[in-house]
Each structure stands twice: as C-alpha cells, then as structure tokens.
A and B are shown apart, each in its own frame.
Chain A
Amino acid sequence: MKLAFQLAYKNLLGAGLRTWLNAGVLSFAFVVIIFYNGLIDGWNEQAKIDGINWEWGNGHLLNEKYDPYDAFSIEDGHGKLAADKQENLTPILIRQAHIYPNGRMMPIQLKGIDPNQKTLYLPTDLLNQSKADFPVLIGQRMAESAKVKTGDDILLRWRDKNGTYDAATVTVVGIFETNVPFVDGGQFWMSIEKLREITLLADQTTYFVASENYSHTETAAWHFETQEYLMREQTKLIETKKVSGSILYIVLMTLGLLAIFDTQVLSIFRRQKEIGTYIALGMTRWQVVRVFTAEGSMYSIFAVILGALYGIPILWYLSKIGISFGTDGTEMGIIMAERMYPIYGLGLVFGTIVIVVLSATVVSFLPARKIARMNPVEALKGKVQ
C-alpha cells in the first residue's frame, strides 16, 4: 500500500494543473461543509446558552393546570407551593392583560418575577432601582411593536382573580435585548409581589424556574420539565436544519467527487500504456488498481491541505466576526441571534475529512476496478475501449 501511495503521489504531482483543479473543487466542498456545519453548531450552542440564561434555567416546575401551549390555561394555571420547597426556585406568575400605547389596544402577558432573582439574565434589578409607582420591564421587540421607550408611561388594564377589571399607568423602566423571543414579544415583566397584589393572587405562582442547585423531588400539583425537555423544539429545529443542509453537502460533494470520478475514468482510458507498462514491469493488476485508487484518495488529501490553506483563515475570521442574516428568530419563534458565530469542533473537522477521503477513495476505486479486467497486451497497445 505504501508503494501505491508513493506512486500515486508522484503521478498526481506530475499531472500538475489537473490535480489542483480537482483538489480545488473538492476543497471548496470540504470548506463549505465545515462552514455550514460549524454555523449550525454555533447556532445550536448560542441558542442553548441563551435559552438557559433567559428562559429555561435548569428546568421549569409548572403548576399542573398550566400548559405553556394553551393560553386559556393561564387563568387557572397557578397554585401555591410550600415555602420550604421553593429553595433554588424563582417564581413566575403569568396573567393576561392589555396595554394601550398611543391609543391602541394590545393584548399582553403580564409576568411577575422576583426582582432580586439571579437565575435568569432578565435585568430585574431595574424594577428595584426604579422610583416609579408601577415599574415594568420589556424586551426590545415588545418596545418596537408597542412603540414605547424607556421612561414612557402606558395604560395597563388587567383583571383580578374575581374577574374584576382594574387599570393603572405603568412606567417602562428598562428595555432589554435578548435573542430569546419567549421572554420578549408580547410580555411585560414586573415584580411578582406587585402582580400578586393587584390580581389578589397572594402566594400564587404559575411556574418556577430552577437554578443550577435545584434538586427536584416529586411535589403534588406541580410537575417538573427538565432543561433538555424545554429545549427539545429548538434542538429538533436545528436538527431539521442539519438534515436540509445535508442536501447542500450532497450537491457539493457530488460535484467534487464527480470531478474525481471523471478524471479517473479519463485517466484509465488515457493512461492505458502506462497501466500496461506497470504490469509488464511486474505489478499485479490489483496493485495497479490500488495505485489508481490511492490517486483518488490523494486528491481528497490534497483537497484537505488546500482547503486548510485558504479555509482556516476564512473560517477563523468568520468565527470571530460572526455572520449576520439581517434578521433574528422572532418571527419564526426560535432562538436565533442576529449575528451567528460558527463553532468548528474537532469532531466536525475530522469527521468531514474522513467522509471526504472515504468518498473520494470509493469513487476512485469504482472506475479503477476496470484495470483488474484489462488485458495488459491491449493496454500496452492503448487499444482498451
């Protein structure tokens, strides 16, 4: 095998431009595959970290009547949890309400949270620092859709537990920026104690966000959803993107491998005399097959080297500056930063190298098998059809 690679190496270098054209095409596929996978991995990592920091924490402990996918369950989906069971948990109470910015009516969710919490990245300390009578926090997207800014007063209307309407003017004391749409769009954050007070829902909580130190024990009327469970949809979506991305890989790889296959077919036809000479000099036909197969493998190795030469600086640069798609995931209801930073893991790089080298070897072997059936006399004459 060593001899096959030695000969293949010399043959490919001797072939000059043809070798580098093939290696170039394959290296492009190689770099794009790594880039796209890196981008998806970067998105996945960013979405996971942002989701945990802003929304999921270490899991949610939900009131059994509350279903996050059913807005009607908000009304009754709350309950009281014994204080001794609330260790390492941040309570959140959700109520339906309306705001009236600039004369318009907008339905929102009022979310009450402990202003002193440290589990989520929400800047709830602003609620404590504010001197306003009724401070609220909103996200950037909420601010844009309601056309409000920090310091603005807005009329808020809600119903208490008895269904009685009440209203007050709230002051926006902070606008936070996040990639996580679940804590932003259509939501007003306020002190949970204040919310409990105005809705007459003392000690009531819709769900709790668990911190890292939380250890779950079964609690009647509450059920725990783990971090992995909460991020399942995001994970599924990213996996779907990976699958759709594989069509791109197949197209790119096919182009690269087709170039190698084509070269090999042509090579075997054009180099018949050389093949005959190899056999006349004492190589077995399968040894010659190995030389031609090794040439195909070496195209992919050259492609890896060539790809590394121009790919490493480009991919490194993109991983530092990130890539903006001019939008975030709000409209799609997914966690997606405006600027994504690809992550290139060793597994991704080496996995791609193995796939490229193996595929190139296979597509080289297929036409090279013909040599095993070649008549050396005909080959020496260059008469094999």
Chain B
Amino acid sequence: MSEKIIVIENLVKRFPVGEGEFTALSDINLSFEKGEFSGIVGPSGSGKTTLLNIIGSLDSPTEGSCTVMGKRISDLSHKQSAQLRNMHIGFIFQVYNLLPVYTVFENVEFALLLQKRSATARKKAVMEALEWVGLEKMADKKPSKLSGGEGQRVAIARAMVKRPELVLADEPTANLDAKNAHAILQTMKKLNEELKTTFLFSTHDEKVMAYLNRLIHLEDGKVAQDEWVTAKSTR
C-alpha cells in the first residue's frame, strides 16, 4: 500500500470580508500519495492557491483538517510549521521569488543554511541541484541577470536541493513562454521520476496539465472532479 503524504478531510477555509465572510474552500476531501505528480486546476479564484498554502502550512483551515506527513497543520506552532516547511516541503512560486541580493548559488543554498548543514555538504548539494536544472555554470550570477526560464529553474533547484518529500508549485509556468514552460515541466517530471518527490501544482495552464498524472478540478472552492490521466513522460 502506498504511503499517504497528504490527507485532507472536510476542509473549509473562510476569509473575513468586511463584516461578513468569504468561503474560499468548502468540504474538501482529498489525499495524495508519495510520488504523485498532481495538479489542482481551475479558474482564478477557485481556491487553488489557498489549498496549496494550507498544505504548505503557510495558512490553516477554518474547519476540517489537513495532515501533511502525519502532521496536522492546524495543530502546529509557528516554529513547527517552519520546521515542516524547512525539512519536508519545497515551494516554487509563479514569480520565482528569488532573493535579489543573493547569487544563484546562495539562493539555492538558503534552505540548507536553515538546516545548519556544513559548508561542504551545502556546496555539494547546491551544485548537484544546479546540475539537475542545468545551471551549474550560472552559480555566481545574480537573479537579475537570469532569463525567466533560468529564474524558474533556480527556484526548482532551491525547492529540490533539500530533497523534500513534497514540492508545491503555484502556477510555475505562468510567466514563461511555451518553450521554457515545457523545459521546466520536463525538469520537474524528471525529478519526480528519479527522486520520487511528490509534486503538487496549482495551475490553469494547459501545458502543465498535459504533464500531470492526476487533475483535481476546483470550482468555487469545491472539488468538481478528481481524475487520473495519462500524462506526458520525459522518456
């Protein structure tokens, strides 16, 4: 039996709006197994990013539960949430969110600094991660000198360098042209296949969907459809 990495039960998320409330997610029941390459898809405002944020312990549910790697998100303290993100979860953002004053190497190294790994171990891991994304020769460059595709590859290396069990990618191709988007997706698919890392996307990009094995359609904060599909392979 496969290991369940994420279990979501009866999850509801409401946000205060003025004097009332807006329900962003309603009655979500999902589970994800280790090694999945899945996506939460749907139009803008459907609650994709909110769900991803809760899974990433950046936010917490209003009702119900979300358990990630055996840890119930709403029960975690700030410190425990940070620990969970630092040790087990990698994030890839739409606008890369690279730290502008750091070099490519330092951006990728950041998560390992938080893990207090030795300088030698950090260097080895960073260079390995940069090799995965084909940017080992750009280690000394600042993010401002990178193209969009390169920036997102650095973000992937940063998410992967600590070998997390789960990578959460929020619209990772939204700012990329088709060629770069495919390159990025192939890189992530390859890492998923080789390292068995679970990838969970939030997207409404058809190009991304083509690579996913499972599509969870969200509409108005509810799961409209949960389907397994035959995805593009890197092979």
Contact = CB atoms under 8 A, between A and B. Distances in A.
B23 interface: no
B110 interface: yes
A19 to B, nearest CB: 10
A276 interface: yes
A276 B91 CA distance: 11
Interface stretch (A8-16, A61-69, A159-167, A184-192): A8-16
A154 to B, nearest CB: 78
Contact of B114 (A13, A282, A286): A282
Contacts of A200: none
Interface in A9-34: 10-11, 13-15
A285 B82 CA distance: 9
A257 to B, nearest CB: 24
Contact of A377 (B59, B97, B114, B115): B59
B111 A281 contact: yes
Interface residues of B, number: 26
A377 B55 CA distance: 12
B224 interface: no
Interface in B65-114: 78-79, 82-83, 85-87, 91, 93, 95, 97, 99-102, 106, 110-111, 113-114
B48 to A, nearest CB: 13
Contacts of B95: 273
Contacts of A342: none
Contacts of B78: 284-286
Contact of B82 (A6, A15, A284, A380): A284
Interface string A276-301: 11011111111100000000000000
Contacts of B91: 280-281
How many chain A residues sit at the interface, stated as a range, is 20 to 34
B114 A380 contact: no
Given A6-B113, A377-B59, A282 B82 contact: yes
B155 to A, nearest CB: 10
Nearest to B95: A273
Nearest to A13: B101
A279 B102 CA distance: 17
B99 A280 contact: no
Contacts of B83: 282
Contacts of A285: 78
Nearest to A277: B97
A3 B134 CA distance: 28
B114 A10 contact: no
B131 to A, nearest CB: 21
A139 interface: no
Nearest to B82: A284
Contacts of A283: 82, 86, 114
A14 B144 CA distance: 12
B205 to A, nearest CB: 19
Given A274-B99, A281-B158, 18 more contacts: A3-B114, A6-B113, A10-B101, A273-B95, A276-B97, A277-B97, A279-B58, A280-B58, A280-B85, A281-B85, A281-B110, A281-B111, A282-B85, A284-B79, A284-B82, A375-B59, A377-B53, A377-B59
* Nearest 5 CB-CB pairings of A with B: A14-B101, A282-B86, A284-B82, A277-B97, A282-B85
Interface of B: 53, 56, 58-59, 78-79, 82-83, 85-87, 91, 93, 95, 97, 99-102, 106, 110-111, 113-115, 158
12 contacts: A3-B114, A14-B100, A273-B95, A279-B58, A279-B82, A280-B58, A282-B115, A283-B82, A283-B86, A283-B114, A285-B78, A380-B58
